[in-house]
Chains A and B, each alone.
Chain A
Amino acid sequence: MWERLKHMLIKEFVQIFRDPRMKAVIFGTPIIQLFVIGYAVTTDVTQVATAVADFDRTQETREITRRFESSGYFRVVQWVKDPEVLRALIDQGEVKAAIQFDPGFARDLARGRTAVIQVIVDGTDSNTAGVVLDYANRIIAQVNREKLQILLAARAVAAGRAAPILSGALPGVELRSRVWFNPDLRSRNYYVPGVIAILIMLTLMMMTAMAIVREREIGTMEQLLVSPIRPAELILGKTLPFALIGFFDVVVITTVAVLWFTVPIQGSLVLLFGATSLFLLPVLGIGLYISTISKTQQQALMSTFFFFQPAMLLSGFAFPIANMPEAIQYLTYLNPLRYFLVIIRGIFLKGNGVEVLWPQMLALLLLGLSVLTASTLRFHKRLG
């Protein structure tokens, strides 16, 4: 059995690598994708292009504008004198946000009336818009606190009391936040480990399915079936090469991620590989299954994609599962990618070990075994 398997493996590898472009594709595309995703996928919001329309032009407005600028979140690119111009700037996407002070701002402040500052955001990118508004809120909240602080001191003095020793300590609650696991909140640290999972899944599923169907299309499958090879050997022979390639890809991508992207890896590499093997079970199983339902490579490709797109989107890679509708959340329990993402992020960022990750690993094992069994049975039927 091992003898035949070994020969099958050799043949597969020879076939895969005969075409030098195939080598480029297998090893090159994950790297390219990693780089593109690593740099492109960022939801960090900083330096938002902002326009300022200051119709009051007083020290107060300038002071507040300065606060916005020095927060690091807003980058003032234009000072506008005309509301029409403001409209045009946002229309064309030149600025994503604008701050407007109406005449009388400082006067209102001085008279103890509420002074209004308008913050306009381009809502087409609602994620950025929301974050921008939040930042603006925080800045103004800080301004308010300081103003109140002054007011408090003034009142105390007016009442004949000593001004409270205010070392910046207003009564109230001070929130001290600490961010665990990704202190700089680099979105890259969140996405890049996820990329490993995505790439492995897509590439391997697609190649396994297409490689098997290709043999059927050219007709060489018939020749194999006539030989004494057993179905199990055939299946292993067709899936093992891609499993090995998958491991290789994981090594390469992890290396690049850690060395180039400086993504921290706190957990155990051994665990990473162990989990990868578990992940490969359902992935290859699905590829195998797709190969049994596809007559042509075209169909194999489309079916892979048909499965992969929702799987990627509903995995927690970019969109949090917790924010999805309930029914969809239940659906994600069937998605192997969901579990692997938790594992991979846990290992990279949190240094999680088996004691934390065992539920996910178990889920992968169960999913993998059931898919593989179903696919193998189907494969048997098609051969027989």
Chain B
Amino acid sequence: MRIARLLAVTRKEVIQIRRDPRSLGMAFVIPMILLFLYGYALTLDVDRLKTIVYDQDQSAASREFLEQFTATRYFIRVARAENYRDVEWALNSGRAQVALVIPRNFARDLALGRRVPVQALLDGSDSNTATIALNYLEGIAARYSTRIVAERLGVNPRDLPVEIRPRVWFNPELQSKNYIVPGLIAVIMMVIAALLTSLTVAREWERGTMEQLIATPIQVPELILGKLLPYVGIGFIDVVLSVLVGTTVFGVPFRGSLPLLLILSLVFLLGALGLGMLVSIKTKSQILASQAAMVVTFLPAFLLSGFVFDIANMPGWLQAITHVVPARYFVTILKGIFLKGVGLRVLGVEVLFLALFSLVVMTAAHRAFRKSLE
């Protein structure tokens, strides 16, 4: 291994990267856009559900009951129905996600101490929202009923037999951005891998410059590492930027060790970018490489790493597969360092897997590259 040759490759690669300022710019802008979106615009939290109300009773009691829902931030009344057709149309067309139907003798039956059925209809096509909406509805209705019963008994509605004291660890405000932004860093790095390193070797094959290069004494590891270094640099800058922006602009807590995070980022970068390069080496065609890279680097990082979608909720066989997705380990590490403030003792296994993965990828890339035209 001759450093001179490696550095020659790196220098050339840097010159070429600088000659394409647009791609370079986007390598920094895209992560920032992602951060902005996930930190500010995107949330899985559900509120302001569009509700249509069909009050067949039109009494003070029915209005009070409905208020229980529409006064919260979870339900917004967007329309009043005159009949069932209105309700159907609203749900069908998406005008409303929830419909509440109050029966005719609501007030009277309630006063008589009966149990009054109220119909709630939900648009289940967005199952996530519907599930959460269902919970809210049940919760609000249950609290209302319990209050009624308590009042009848002369019991203070606040003194219920059993009370829940909820404690939320690590993310007390249950802000989804707090749990999404740390994992996002892993995704960002995979994106850089997919977009930049996946094309670099294939491009040289397509343009013919690779033929000249392999007729020289350059060794495969020098070529691979030499090409990798500039992108590791870019990726590392992206990590630092993301941590900075995530914590200062979006207020995501950072409770762990920054040096540890940076070191582990480097390890992950080697693996992620190495994977992109492996794709480039094997495909030798830019169009092919980009498609393959999407499937091999970006998608697993986005879907199977636990970044947004909880691994525990996936079917067993898929959970097994996530064990070979490196981003999975890195997301755990990121969340651990950001939110839980844990270190190597807890994250030991993940760190090991990460290092192993990077090693395997670099070896595979080395093996896959042939200094020959066939």
> Do A and B associate with each other?
yes
Query: Which positions in A face B, CB cutoff 8 Å?
Result: 19, 21-22, 25-26, 29, 32-33, 36-37, 39-46, 48-49, 64, 90-93, 96, 109, 114-131, 133-138, 140-145, 147-149, 151-152, 155, 169-183, 185-187, 189-190, 202-203, 206-207, 210-211, 214, 217-218, 296-299, 301-303, 305-306, 309-310, 313-314, 318-320, 322-325, 328, 342, 345-346, 349-350, 352, 356
Give 9 nearest A-B pairs by CB, closest first. A172-B145, A123-B171, A182-B124, A134-B135, A141-B142, A179-B124, A147-B161, A175-B141, A123-B168
B127-149: which residues lie under 8 A (CB-CB) from chain A? 127-132, 134-139, 141-146, 148-149
Out of B122, B124, B165, B203, name the residue touching A298 (CB < 8 Å).
B203
A137 to B141 alpha-carbon distance, docked (Å): 12
User: Contacts A127-B176, A134-B139, A175-B141 given; 13 further ones with Cβ under 8 A?
Assistant: A36-B318, A40-B303, A43-B310, A114-B162, A115-B161, A119-B167, A121-B169, A127-B128, A131-B131, A141-B143, A178-B122, A202-B294, A352-B92
Is A172 a contact partner of B129 (Cβ separation < 8 A)?
no
A19 to B194 alpha-carbon distance, docked (Å): 21
B19 CB to nearest chain A CB (Å): 10
B335 CB to nearest chain A CB (Å): 5
Is A129 a contact partner of B139 (Cβ separation < 8 A)?
no
A125 to B175 alpha-carbon distance, docked (Å): 9
The answer to whether A119 and B48 touch (CB under 8 A), given A134-B136, A179-B130, A325-B41, is no
B93 on the interface (CB 8 Å rule)?
yes
Interface of A is mostly: helix
Contacts of B281 in A (CB 8 A): none
Is A144 a contact partner of B162 (Cβ separation < 8 A)?
yes
Is A44 a contact partner of B131 (Cβ separation < 8 A)?
yes
Contacts of B191 in A (CB 8 A): 305, 309
B7-66: which residues lie under 8 A (CB-CB) from chain A? 20, 22-23, 26-27, 29-30, 33-34, 37-38, 40-50, 65
Contacts of B91 in A (CB 8 A): 180-181
A21 to B284 alpha-carbon distance, docked (Å): 11
The answer to whether A170 and B165 touch (CB under 8 A), given A19-B288, A176-B118, is no
A93 CB to nearest chain B CB (Å): 7
Is A302 a contact partner of B124 (Cβ separation < 8 A)?
no
Q: List 8 A-B contacts (CB under 8 A).
A: A21-B288, A43-B127, A118-B167, A137-B139, A138-B135, A148-B150, A170-B115, A309-B34
Contacts of B130 in A (CB 8 A): 179, 182, 185
A314 to B332 alpha-carbon distance, docked (Å): 26
B159 on the interface (CB 8 Å rule)?
yes
Contacts of B285 in A (CB 8 A): 19, 21
Contacts of A296 in B (CB 8 A): 20, 203
The answer to whether A126 and B161 touch (CB under 8 A), given A40-B309, A151-B153, A152-B152, is no
Contacts of B38 in A (CB 8 A): 313
B41 CB to nearest chain A CB (Å): 5
A198 to B312 alpha-carbon distance, docked (Å): 24
Contacts of A310 in B (CB 8 A): 33, 37
B327 on the interface (CB 8 Å rule)?
no
B281 CB to nearest chain A CB (Å): 14
Is B33 a contact partner of A309 (Cβ separation < 8 A)?
yes
A118 CB to nearest chain B CB (Å): 5
Is A137 a contact partner of B164 (Cβ separation < 8 A)?
yes
A46 to B196 alpha-carbon distance, docked (Å): 39
B299 on the interface (CB 8 Å rule)?
yes
Is B20 a contact partner of A298 (Cβ separation < 8 A)?
yes
Interface-lining segment among B214-222, B339-347, B363-371: B339-347
A206 to B294 alpha-carbon distance, docked (Å): 11
Is B120 a contact partner of A178 (Cβ separation < 8 A)?
yes
Out of A117, A119, A306, name the residue touching B26 (CB < 8 Å).
A306
Out of B145, B194, B318, name the residue touching A174 (CB < 8 Å).
B145
B185 on the interface (CB 8 Å rule)?
no
Is B146 a contact partner of A148 (Cβ separation < 8 A)?
yes
The answer to whether A144 and B146 touch (CB under 8 A), given A123-B169, A131-B135, A297-B286, is yes
Contacts of B163 in A (CB 8 A): 114-117, 140
A120 to B40 alpha-carbon distance, docked (Å): 27
B313 on the interface (CB 8 Å rule)?
yes
Is B144 a contact partner of A173 (Cβ separation < 8 A)?
yes
A324 to B39 alpha-carbon distance, docked (Å): 11
Contacts of A328 in B (CB 8 A): 40-41
A314, A322, A349 pick with most chain B CB within 10 angstroms:
A322
B359 on the interface (CB 8 Å rule)?
no
Out of A135, A141, A298, name the residue touching B23 (CB < 8 Å).
A298
The answer to whether A44 and B117 touch (CB under 8 A), given A123-B170, A301-B199, is no
A301 to B160 alpha-carbon distance, docked (Å): 60
B259 on the interface (CB 8 Å rule)?
no
Is B346 a contact partner of A350 (Cβ separation < 8 A)?
no
Contacts of B71 in A (CB 8 A): none
Contacts of A134 in B (CB 8 A): 132, 135-136, 139
B308 on the interface (CB 8 Å rule)?
yes
Q: Smallest CB-CB separation from A348: which chain B residue?
A: B125
Is B162 a contact partner of A143 (Cβ separation < 8 A)?
yes
B155 on the interface (CB 8 Å rule)?
yes
B86 on the interface (CB 8 Å rule)?
no
Contacts of B146 in A (CB 8 A): 141, 144-145, 148, 172
The answer to whether A183 and B124 touch (CB under 8 A), given A302-B195, A309-B33, A319-B44, is yes
Contacts of A33 in B (CB 8 A): 295, 299
